[in-house]
Each structure stands twice: as structure tokens, then as C-alpha cells.
Chains A and B, each alone.
Chain A
Amino acid sequence: AQKVTQAQTEISVVEKEDVTLDCVYETRDTTYYLFWYKQPPSGELVFLIRRNSFDEQNEISGRYSWNFQKSTSSFNFTITASQVVDSAVYFCALILSGGYQKVTFGTGTKLQVIP
């Protein structure tokens, strides 16, 4: 069975600080996909990124960056120069290749950015 752990339940940072959200996953499969979703206070989960298990290249998108390390089974998410609009719950998730019906979600990390 798959498992996704987000050990940080809540994080508070002051605006413009950098913050890293941790995600550790467990799976015996070698082919899988990892995701991050953002859930703002409005409630709708928004897809941020997908990474497949064969691509360990880090990715940067504006102030967001993701660090995927298979050696430590981690897929961490960093927000640089945080803003109040980044306040949300962030979910890390895993899905097996071919098993696209079922996603394993972490329990989420609530990020509060204080102005």
C-alpha cells in the first residue's frame, strides 16, 4: 500500500520569508507520479505540479520550486518570498502508473503567511 506523510500540520511565516513544505512517500512500485495541490480558504483544490518517478529534475515555476529525491522518498515544495495569497492548505499526493483512478493524499500542511 502507498503512503504519503506530511509531518508539518501547520506552519506560520512572515511575509517574504521562504518556506519549505515537506512530503515523504512510501511505495514499492517503481513507476509512479507525485503531485502537489493547493487548497485556498475558498475550498477548491488546485493542481500545482505533477512529477513522474523517472524524472528527478527539480522544477521551478516563479516563486515555487519542487525538490524530488528518490533516495529519500521525498518531494518537497518551497515557496520563495512568501505572500499572503500563499496562505492555504497544501496537499502532497501519489498515484501509481496505470492506477490513475486512485490517489493517495497526505493529510495536508496548513500554511499561514502573516503580513
Chain B
Amino acid sequence: DVKVTQSSRYLVKRTGEKVFLECVQDMDHENMFWYRQDPGLGLRLIYFSYDVKMKEKGDIPEGYSVSREKKERFSLILESASTNQTSMYLCASSRYYEQYFGPGTRLTVT
């Protein structure tokens, strides 16, 4: 079974803090993704990566950056957290088409 893990289920940060969300997958998948999920908006793609050190902007990359130094790990960075980044963050990985998701991190920025 594919396993995607995220570093935290719940996180509370203050405005202006730098925030790191970590995602690890154990199936040697090439592709990894970060989404945010907000009520009424569904899932929106922030960034994705199709190889180590490679990254591509998704639909809403502003205010975020990513890092992929190892194939199994994909990090999402909020350089200076703001209250409008309060959301559920979902990480996923895939080899071809099906994406496999982690449990999500519910981030609250106060």
C-alpha cells in the first residue's frame, strides 16, 4: 500500500512566522503535489514536483515555496504566514495518474 505521511495533523502559527510542512511518501513515486482545501473551493494545486529538485507552480503559488531535495520528501514553505493561509493542506504523490494523499495538515494562522 502507498503511504503518504505529513508531519503534523494540526498546526497553529502566528502571522509572519515561517512555516514548514513536510510530506514523505514511501512508494518511490516521481510526482508529488501540495494542495490546499477550503470550503466551497475544493482542492487547489499550490505546487508540484515531477523529479528531485524540480518544481512547477500550480494554480495558487503566491505566498508559498517548495523544496524537494530527496525523491521521497516534498516540503511546503510559507515564507511569512498570513491569516488567509489558514487552511487544510494536503500532500499527494503519484507515479502515473492516480494520486495518493496524506492525511492532511490543518493549519491555523493567528
Contacts and interface: CB of A to CB of B under 8 A. Distances in A.
Interface of A: 33, 35, 37, 42-47, 50, 91, 95, 100-103, 105-108
A101 B48 contact: yes
A44 B50 contact: no
B56 A105 contact: no
Interface residues of A: mostly helix, strand, loop or mixed?
Answer: loop
A105 B98 contact: no
B101 interface: yes
Q: How large is the interface on B (under 10, 10 to 19, 20 to 34, 35 or more residues)?
A: 20 to 34
B45 to A, nearest CB: 7
26 contacts: A33-B97, A43-B88, A43-B104, A43-B106, A44-B102, A44-B103, A44-B104, A46-B101, A47-B98, A47-B100, A50-B97, A100-B31, A101-B33, A101-B48, A101-B50, A101-B56, A102-B48, A102-B58, A103-B45, A103-B99, A105-B42, A105-B43, A106-B42, A107-B40, A107-B41, A108-B42
Contacts of B33: 101
Contacts of B40: 107
A101 B98 contact: no
Contacts of B103: 42-44
A44 B99 CA distance: 12
Given A43-B88, A44-B103, A100 B97 contact: yes
Contacts, number: 49
Nearest to A32: B97
> Which of A43, A102, A106, A107 is packed against the most chain B CB atoms within 10 Å?
A43
9 A-B pairs with the lowest CB-CB distances in the bound complex, closest first: A107-B42, A45-B101, A43-B104, A44-B103, A105-B43, A47-B98, A33-B97, A105-B42, A100-B97
Contacts of B100: 47
B11 to A, nearest CB: 14
Given A35-B97, A43-B9, A107-B40, 11 more contacts: A42-B103, A43-B104, A44-B104, A45-B101, A47-B98, A100-B96, A100-B97, A101-B33, A101-B50, A102-B45, A106-B42
A102 B40 CA distance: 20
A35 B98 contact: yes
